[in-house]
Amino acid sequence: MSYQSITKIFLPVILAVFIFLPEELPAIEVAKYGSDYAGKGAGVRILSMGGAGTAAVNDVSAGYWNPAKLHLAPRNNVGFMHTESFAGAVNFDYVAGRLPAESHHLGLTVMRSGVDEIPNTQSALKDYGKDGLPNTGDAGEGNGVFDTFPDGSSERIDESAITYFTSSQYTLLLSYTRPYSDKLAVGANIKLLRNIIADESAWGIGFDFGAYYEAAQWMEFGASLRNATTTLVAWSTGRNEIYKPELRLGFAGNIPIAPFRMQVIPAADLIYFTDGRRTDALFSVFGSSVQYAAGLEIVIQENLGLRIGTSSLEDFTAGLGISLGRARLEYGFTPSASQGDLGESHKVGLLWQF
C-alpha cells in the first residue's frame, strides 16, 4: 500500500475529529493516568501474562499492544473479549480484526470501558437536620451535607429522587503495519476517544507508534510509544486535557521442547510513564514512573496454552486458551488478593478465523 493510499484512509478520520472540537481551546491540563485509556489492556492471552505484550502479542490485539506486529496476526481474524473487574462493577469489552487483504496490513479495534447504574443522590438529600422536619432551624438543617449525629441518627435520603448515570470511555484504533523485511516492521495507530460521564462528554485524538524486530527464531523485541504527540481530549464543560506519552519496551522468547511438542514463551515489558510519579511504580526516573509486566505461556501441541503473569498493578494473573479448529477460546483470572480489596477479575475471549 502506498503512502498516498494511507493518507486517503487516515486524513478523513483526522479531519472529522477536529470538526467536533470546540473553536476555542482554553488552558490544557495534564491528565495523570490519562494514558490508561483502556484499563489494563485488550486480549485475554496477554492480560493473563501480566500485560507483557509489546513483543509477545501474536493476534489482532496487536492493535492495542504494538501495531507493528499486526501483520503477524492471522488474516481474516477477529477477536472479542469481555472483562468484569472490581467485583463486577467495571465492565470492559473489545472487538478487533485484521482486514482481509494480502497487499496491506490494516486493523480496526473498538473498546469500551464503563461503570453503569451509578447512583446520583445530589437531589435526594432531605436536608432537614436532626429532627427530620423542615424549617425548624435545628442542627445540620440546610447545610448541603448529609449529617450524622452523636446518637447514631442521620438525615434522610429520598430514594424516589435517586437517579442513575453511566461513566464510559470508547476507544477506536485504526492500525497500519509496514514490514521492511521478515524480521523488521513498524506500525502506527490513529486513536479516537469518546468519554461520557452523565450529561458531559469529550472527544479526543492521538497517535501511537510501534516497532518490532526478530533477533533470532527464539528471541523477539518490541517497542511502542503511545500518545506519541500527546493525546488531546476536549470536554463539553470547556476543560481540555492531554494524555502524555507512554513508552513500552518488550522482550519475548520462543523455546521449543520438541519431545513433548511444547513451546515455552517468556515475556517481559518495561513501561515508562511521563505523566508523573505513580504509587505503583517499580522506580522513578526524571520525576516519572517505570512499571513492569512479565509473563509465561506454555503451549502444548499447538492447541492448549497455559499462562501466568505478574506486573506492577497485579501480583498474579493466570489463564488458558484452547484452540478448536478456526476458533480459540480464552479465559483469564486475577484473584482479589492481587488487587487488594477490589475483588476478582474475570476475562473471557474468542478469536475466530473466518
The CATH number of the domain holding residue 279 is 2.40.160.60
Q: What is the pLDDT of residue 75?
A: 80
d(CA 33, CA 66): 20
Task: State how many domains the chain has.
Answer: 2
d(CA 110, CA 242): 21
φ, ψ of residue 71 to 5 degrees: the values are -70, -15
| Alpha-helix runs per DSSP H in 26-136 | 44-48, 62-65
Is the same domain home to 268 and 152?
no
Give domain status of residue 148, yes or no.
yes
Backbone phi, psi, residue 205, to 5° = -140, 140
CB 109 within 8 A of CB 116: no
7: cell is 493518507
Determine how many CB atoms are found less than 10 A away from the CB of residue 245. Answer: 21
Same-domain check for residues 240 and 137: no
Write down the H helix ranges in 149-234.
Answer: none
**Inside any domain, residue 203:** yes
Residues 190 and 326 in one domain: yes
Rounded Cα distance between 162 and 271, Å, is 42
Q: Are residues 211 and 143 in the same domain?
A: no
Give pLDDT tens digits along the chain (354 positions). Answer: 444 554 454 555 444 444 444 444 456 777 766 666 566 788 999 999 999 999 999 999 999 999 999 988 888 889 999 987 766 677 889 999 988 666 678 999 999 988 877 887 777 777 777 777 788 877 777 777 777 888 778 877 777 778 888 888 999 999 999 998 889 999 999 999 999 988 899 999 999 999 999 999 899 999 999 999 889 899 998 889 888 899 999 999 999 998 888 999 999 999 998 887 777 777 877 778 899 999 999 999 889 999 999 998 888 999 999 999 889 999 999 886 544 555 678 899 999 988
CA distance 255 to 265: 6
pLDDT of residue 175: 94
Question: 59: which residues sit within 8 A by CB, 6+ positions away?
Answer: 43, 45, 73, 74, 77, 79, 351
Sign of the C-alpha dihedral computed for residues 85, 86, 88 and 92 taken in this order? negative
Residue 182: half-sphere exposure toward Cβ, Cα within 13 Å: 2
Interior CA angle at 82 toward 289 and 282, to 5°? Answer: 15
Q: Does one domain contain both 177 and 217? A: yes
Query: What is the C-alpha separation between 350 and 346, in angstroms, rounded?
Result: 14
Residues 272 and 135 in one domain: no
Could you say which DSSP state residue 154 is in?
A: B
- For residue 71, the SS3 value is helix
Q: 243, exposed or middle or buried, with CB in 10 Å at 0-12, 13-18, 19+?
A: buried
Specify whether 195 is located in the same domain as 271. yes
Q: Look at residue 279 in the predicted model and tell me its pLDDT.
A: 75
Assess if residue 140 is contained within a domain: yes
89 and 233 share one domain: yes
Asked if residue 186 is part of any domain, the answer here is: yes
DSSP state of 280: T
In a domain, 266, yes or no: yes
Beta pairing, strands 28-30 & 240-243: parallel
Integer Cα distance of 291 and 223 in angstroms: 15
Examine the domain organization and report whether 92 and 132 are in the same domain.
Answer: no
186 shares its domain with 304: yes
Tell me which DSSP letter residue 342 carries. S
Same domain for 178 and 273, yes or no, is: yes
Q: Is residue 157 part of a domain?
A: yes
* Secondary structure class of 63 (helix, strand, coil): helix
Strands 246-253 and 262-273 come out as: antiparallel
Do 54 and 88 lie in one domain? The reply is: yes
**Which triple of cell numbers denotes residue 238?**
470547556
Which SS3 state, helix, strand or coil, does residue 277 take?
coil
How confident is the model at residue 126, as a pLDDT?
77
The single-letter code of the amino acid at 168 is S
Find the domain containing 313 and state its range: 38-117+165-353
23 within some domain: no
**How far is 57 from 221, CA to CA, in rounded Å?**
11
Show Cβ contacts of residue 301 under 8 Å, excluding neighbours closer than 6 positions: 261, 262
Among 136, 161, 186, identify where a domain stops. Answer: 161
Q: Rounded CA gap, 114 and 237, in Å?
A: 20
For residue 4, is it within any domain? no
Q: Which residues pair with 91 in a beta bridge?
A: 84, 114
**Are the beta carbons of 48 and 311 closer than 8 angstroms?**
no
